[in-house]
C-alpha cells in the first residue's frame, strides 16, 4: 500500500506539470461515459497507468478513460482512478483533481481498502484515507509532500454544493435543498467534485449532492472512480456518504462505469437527506 501512495505522489507532481505546460484543448474522442475528452485527460491517464503498472502490489487498473481494465500476472490491489476530474474546468483555470480507489478482490463498495485524491489548485495537495484521513501539501522547495494534518469533520457544516440540472430535480430533492439554504447554508459549487468536496472536508463539513434527476435517474458520478473513493474518505473523516437511502459503500457496481446518485457530508446534513428521501424512491 505504501508503494501505491508513494507512486500517487509522483503521479501528482507529473500531472501538475502537464496541466501547467500542455495544450488544454479538446479532442474528437469520447470516453466510456460519453464525456468529451480533453487532451489532458488522455495524457494524465497515461501518466497514472505508467506509474501504477510498475508497482508490484498492483494487480489491475481501470480508469474513467479506459473501456476495460489492464491486468497483471501478480499483485493484490485493484486500483480504479479518475486521472483528471473536472477536466472541463481546465480552460477556465479552476482547480481540478485526480481520484484513486484502492480495492481488494474486485471493485465493489465493500472492497475498497484505501483511497486518495489530489487537488491541482493554487497549491498541490494530496489527501490519503486509510485508517485515518491525512492531508499533505507539496513543498516546491523540498520537492516533497509535507504532512499538514488529519482531517476530521465537524457534526454540522455551513456550505452546500447541489449538483445536477435543477430543472430535472425531483420535488422532494428541491425541497430539501431549499430547506438547507433556508437554514443559512451558503452555495459552494465549482463543477469539480475534487475541489468541492475538499472544501467541505477542510471547512469542517457541509453537504455535496449529485442526485438522481429525471434526465439522469442513476446520477452522473461514477462509482468506481469517483463515488466509492470519496465515500471512503468521508466515512473515515467521521462524516456520511449515502445514495439518499443506502450507504454508498454497501453498493455494488454492475459495470465498470456504473453511476449512482450520491451525497457526501457531515452527520447533520446526511440526516437531513435521509429524512427527505425516506419513502420517496
Ligand atoms: P470529469 O471531469 O472527470 O468527467 O468529472 C466531472 C464531474 C465532477 O467532478 C463534478 O462534480 C460533476 O462532474 C459536475 O457535473 P455538472 O457539470 O453536471 O454539475
Ligand atoms: Mn470525474
Ligand atoms: Mn475525469
Q: Name the DSSP letter for residue 91.
A: G
pTM of the model: 0.96
Q: How many residues does the chain have?
A: 281
Distance in Å, CA 237 to ligand 3 centroid: 24
Name the residue of 221, 224, 263 to mutate for ligand 1: max ligand atoms within 8 A of Cβ. Answer: 221
Q: Name the DSSP letter for residue 219.
A: -
Instruction: Give the start-to-end residue ranges of the domains of the chain.
Output: 2-150, 159-277
Name the residue of 24, 36, 196, 210 to mutate for ligand 1: max ligand atoms within 8 A of Cβ. Answer: 210
Q: What are phi and psi of 251, to 5 degrees?
A: -85, 155
> CA nearest 64: which of 253, 261, 262, 263?
253
pLDDT surpasses 70 at 171: yes
pLDDT at 32: 81
Architecture in CATH for domain 2-150: 2-Layer Sandwich (3.30)
Using a 10 angstrom Cβ sphere, with 0-12 exposed, 13-18 middle and 19 or more buried, the burial of residue 120 is: buried
Nearest atom (ligand 1) to Cα of 164? 18
pLDDT at 25: 80
pLDDT at 224: 98
pLDDT surpasses 90 at 26: no
pLDDT surpasses 90 at 27: no
Q: What are phi and psi of 130, to 5 degrees?
A: -125, -115
pLDDT surpasses 70 at 281: no
> CA nearest 160: which of 264, 76, 83, 258?
264
Confidence of residue 31 (pLDDT cuts 50, 70, 90): confident
Q: How do residues 231-279 score in pLDDT, each as one tens digit?
A: 999 999 999 999 999 999 999 999 999 999 999 999 999 999 999 999 6
Domain 2-150 identical in fold to domain 159-277: no
Return the CATH fold of 159-277: D-Maltodextrin-Binding Protein; domain 2 (3.40.190)
pLDDT surpasses 80 at 29: no
Amino acid at each position: 500500500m505504501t508503494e501505491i501512495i508513494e507512486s500517487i505522489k509522483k503521479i501528482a507532481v507529473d500531472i501538475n506539470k502537464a496541466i501547467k505546460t500542455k495544450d488544454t484543448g479538446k479532442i474528437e474522442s469520447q470516453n466510456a461515459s460519453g464525456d468529451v475528452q480533453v487532451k489532458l485527460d488522455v495524457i494524465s491517464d497515461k501518466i497514472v497507468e505508467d506509474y501504477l503498472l510498475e508497482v508490484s502490489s498492483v494487480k489491475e487498473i481501470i480508469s474513467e478513460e479506459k473501456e476495460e481494465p489492464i491486468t497483471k500476472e501478480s499483485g493484490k490491489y485493484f486500483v480504479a482512478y479518475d486521472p483528471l476530474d473536472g477536466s472541463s474546468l481546465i480552460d477556465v483555470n479552476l482547480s481540478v483533481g485526480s481520484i484513486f480507489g484502492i480495492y481488494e478482490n474486485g471493485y465493489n463498495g465493500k472492497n475498497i481498502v484505501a483511497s486518495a485524491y489530489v487537488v491541482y489548485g493554487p497549491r498541490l495537495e494530496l489527501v490519503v484515507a486509510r485508517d485515518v484521513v491525512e492531508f499533505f501539501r507539496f513543498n516546491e522547495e523540498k520537492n516533497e509532500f509535507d504532512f499538514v494534518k488529519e482531517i476530521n469533520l465537524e457534526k454540522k457544516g455551513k456550505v452546500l454544493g447541489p449538483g445536477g440540472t435543477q430543472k430535472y430535480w425531483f420535488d422532494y430533492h428541491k425541497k430539501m435543498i431549499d430547506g438547507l439554504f433556508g437554514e443559512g447554508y451558503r452555495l459552494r459549487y465549482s463543477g469539480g467534485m475534487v475541489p468541492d468536496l475538499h472544501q467541505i472536508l477542510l471547512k469542517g463539513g457541509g453537504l455535496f449532492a449529485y442526485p438522481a434527476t429525471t434526465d439522469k435517474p442513476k446520477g452522473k458520478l461514477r462509482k468506481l472512480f469517483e463515488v466509492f473513493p470519496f465515500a471512503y474518505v468521508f466515512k473515515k473523516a467521521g462524516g456520511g456518504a449515502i445514495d439518499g437511502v443506502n450507504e454508498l459503500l454497501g453498493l455494488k457496481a454492475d459495470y465498470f462505469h456504473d453511476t449512482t446518485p450520491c451525497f457526501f457530508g457531515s452527520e447533520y446534513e446526511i440526516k437531513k437527506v435521509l429524512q427527505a428521501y425516506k419513502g420517496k424512491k
